[in-house]
Amino acid sequence: MPIVKYPRAREPLYYEWERKAQKCGLRHTVYAVNGDQYTGEWLNNLKHGKGTQIWKRTGAIYSGDWKFGKRDGYGTYSIPDPVTKEYRKVYTGWWENGQRTGQGVSFYPNGERYEGEWSDGVRSGWGRMHYQDGSSYEGQWEADQPNGQGMLLLPNGNRYEGGWKDGKKHGPGRYFYLDKGQLLEGTWAEDISKCGVMVDFDRDKAPAPTQYPIPEIELDDPAGVLAEAQALLDDSDN
């Protein structure tokens, strides 16, 4: 009886092509249609693991961790300088779901720098901001502004310690005029001192004290005066 050989069943070629097109594991540089390029690890066609992305339109580079196609973990984002074309860091730190979240450092074009906590891409939590004029703020942040308790240190050594709201001094606080050897303790509203008590403070160590010391004034109830001022401030907020 003759032996009949049947051809081996083969799957359609497009199945093989689709498997080869799937990106999984470590891959060499992959180019997008718009010219963006990515070199790194993949999982199920998504950037996942360690990798570097270069955006063609802006020239920006992100190098770090990825998770399911988004920046997630620790990484650094840099952009080219428009004049020198050299890359400068914009942010280095932690990311979550494509946004700056957790501890990180942000570098601004004018030389300012923020070190601290982030949430959903904005400064939020505890952090320190170094400003261009040499002053610095350290304290609580919310919605990308100083909010809560914090200290502003000026280049001449003077400082404010107290409450903040939307980036302005607000609530009970103390302002140390170390250049004059004086201390103002009181209540602020939108960066303006509304009520307080000024006293001499380390006057003998001050570089430029006032000509005469502040005379001492006896108050029957200094705590009550400040409490009344705070109550008036609360009423104005409402």
At 57, the pLDDT band (50, 70, 90 cuts) reads very high
Burial class (CB in 10 A: 0-12, 13-18, 19+), 129: buried
pLDDT averaged over the chain?
A: 86
pLDDT at 8: 62
- Of 171 and 29, which is predicted with more confidence? 171
Percent pLDDT > 90 in the chain is 64
- Of 62 and 203, which is predicted with more confidence? 62
Burial class (CB in 10 A: 0-12, 13-18, 19+), 100: buried
Extract the tokens encoding 209.
């004290």
Mean pLDDT of 130-151: 98
In the chain, where the domains are located: 108-226
Mean pLDDT of 206-222: 69
pLDDT at 187: 96
> Whole-prediction pTM value?
0.78
pLDDT at 14: 44
* Chain mean position to CA 131: 13
Residue 28 predicted with pLDDT over 80: no
The CATH code belonging to domain 108-226 is 2.20.110.10
Contact 27, 44 (CB under 8 A): no
Distances (CA, A) of 91 to 63, 78, 120: 11, 7, 14
At 15, the pLDDT band (50, 70, 90 cuts) reads very low
**Cα distance between residue 105 and residue 129, in whole Å:** 10
pLDDT at 232: 54
